[in-house]
Amino acid sequence: MTITKPSLVALFFFVDPETGGFHPAQQLAQNLNWQPSPQQPSTTVYEGIFQELARLSLAEQKTHDTLILQATATSLGEENDSHWKAISSAIDQITQRIGTEGKEQYPWAVSRLFYASVPAGVTGNALFDAVTPLFNENNVPTATKKPETTPFGWLWTLNDGFMQLSHTRKIWQRDLLLVIPDDRVQKVKQYFVDNLHQGFSRIELYLQKCKHLARQHESIQGELSRAITMLQQEMLEHLVTSDFSQIHTEPVLMEHMSRQLMRFLTQKAAVEILLNSLRSNLNLYTEHLERIKLDTPTYAIEKARVARQVEQIESDLHNASVIQDSAYAVQDIQRGAEASRFERASYLLGGTAALLAGISLFNSFLEIWSLALENSSWMMPAGWVRIFLSLLASISIPLAATWFISRKKLHALVSTLISLAAITAMVLTTILSNV
């Protein structure tokens, strides 16, 4: 039995540049001297015969942050086993053109769907014999040759791994095969194969995004693990060597730990951003699978694998948060110790300043008292009286200032009254000594 209408649709996924002006379908069409097809008024599609291998059409669609280039190759002439090789060769050459002419714009993934139709009611060995040439060409393992039944036909996964795009670049490529019963071909092509807004294109877009983000997580997770390890080592070193009496070394240790904490927070933020993107694409992937009822084991396994990846990232972030909280706690303890130490130091400095001020006031009161009565007929009060009153005033005035700064109003008021009383007593004892 010979299958009919063998075709291959390839979806190239590009990062959509913010500056715009990047149109891979138009660029390829210009290189091939193709014009837009007048039969597609709703969207720009370029069609032509590619090197006598296949009829090729090019279209593109922007979605979110991704630009999708769709290249569809259809066999020429009567169907035979060599047509699979012809359409595959045509898409391979288009892929090489993209890899060599893309300059800075390379696709980050590509999904290819081989599809053809068979008479309705074909199953079993007849179906297997129809697709055997394609299996042999792609070296498909025997274990994967059993098809999955879908609403659109029979589906096989031929390849899922890296492919060489150019001499220096590899991209992830997925190859699938869909065999469609003749009575469903038009609807399947319209709603699943060719539609850039739903069906195969959107399912593969979100699945490829999930895979791409999962591969990015491997490198980002390594950076986060190193940042966690370095932060833990810095914390342990800080706790082991901490000596609150060494005021000149403690700030240096805290600065080192703060630097490691900033590096850790940067890596953690990168993982959180990746997790949010992975969740979003997983939800969209699940939504589109449910929308077209494509609940095959292959796609279900991919969904479960991404869900486990999300759970693993969430667990990693939870562990990172524990380390982060520990680092914050160590910093809080250090700040508290620093604050307590500086508070004690400020009290010592304040007490020293008050003592020096008291001594200065004591000497000043005695000198002013002596100078005021020098060269006059007035007699000085007894020595012990002058010493006592000068000492009382020199103590109460600094205490009043200290308590006023500490906002102890009652203590400051009492000290002020005592100092005023002492000064008044100086005057009165001088007067009484000369009566």
pLDDT of the residue at 250: 58
**Phi, psi (5° rounding) for residue 335?**
-65, -40
Do residues 41 and 103 both lie within one domain?
yes
- Looking at the chain, the whole-number percentage of residues with pLDDT higher than 70 is 85
Q: Between residues 18 and 215, which one has the greater pLDDT?
A: 215
Same domain (yes/no): 362, 333: no
CB 35 within 8 A of CB 46: yes
Tell me: pLDDT of 243 over 70. no
Give residue-wise pLDDT tens across range 157-189: 888 888 877 777 888 999 999 988 888 889 999
For residues 119-147, average pLDDT: 69
Q: Do 286 and 324 belong to one domain?
A: yes
Instruction: Please report which confidence band the pLDDT of residue 102 belongs to, taking 50, 70 and 90 as the band edges.
Output: low
Q: Residue 405 pLDDT > 70, yes or no?
A: yes
Q: Which domain holds residue 79?
A: 4-197
pLDDT band at 246 (very low <50, low <70, confident <90, very high): low
Q: How confident is the model at residue 11 (pLDDT cuts 50, 70, 90)?
A: very high
Is residue 44 domain-resident?
yes
Least trusted range by pLDDT, from 6-10, 198-202, 234-238, 239-243: 239-243
In this structure, the answer to whether residues 360 and 280 fall within a common structural domain is no
More confident residue, 377 or 94: 94
pLDDT at 60 over 60: yes
- Between 368 and 123, whose confidence is greater? 368
Report if residue 203 sits inside a domain: no
Return phi, psi of residue 252, to 5°: -65, -45
One-letter amino acid of 118: V
Write down the pLDDT at residue 277: 92
Query: Which pLDDT band holds residue 326 (cuts at 50, 70, 90)?
Result: confident
Average pLDDT for 347-370: 75
Q: What is the pLDDT of residue 21?
A: 66
pLDDT score, position 127: 73
pLDDT of residue 39: 60
Residue 389 pLDDT: 81
What is residue 145's predicted lDDT score, i.e. its pLDDT?
64
Q: What does the alpha-carbon distance between residue 385 and residue 392 come to, in Å, rounded to a whole number?
A: 11
Confidence at residue 143, expressed as pLDDT on a 0 to 100 scale: 47
Question: For the chain, what percent of residues have pLDDT higher than 90?
Answer: 15
Bridge partners of residue 57, in order along the sequence: 47, 72
Output 249-252 pairs: Cβ under 8 A, ≥24 positions apart: 250/334, 250/338
The answer to the question of residue 205 being in a domain is no
Cα–Cα distance for residue pair 284/435, rounded to 1 Å = 105
Average pLDDT, the chain: 81
Residue 202 lies in a domain: no
Beta strands in 75-210 (DSSP E): 109-118, 148-150, 153-164, 170-181
Instruction: State which of 136, 168, 197 marks the end of a domain.
Output: 197
Q: Which of 176, 197, 218 is the last residue of a domain?
A: 197
Residue at a domain's end among 172, 197, 222: 197
Gap between the Cα atoms of 121 and 127, Å rounded: 10
- Verify that 369 and 352 share a domain, yes or no: yes
Question: Whole-prediction pTM value?
Answer: 0.73
Q: What is the pLDDT of residue 311?
A: 92
pLDDT at 13: 92
Beta pairing, strands 170-181 & 153-164: antiparallel
Q: How far apart are CA 347 and CA 266, in angstroms?
A: 40
Q: What does the alpha-carbon distance between residue 228 and residue 322 come to, in Å, rounded to a whole number?
A: 10
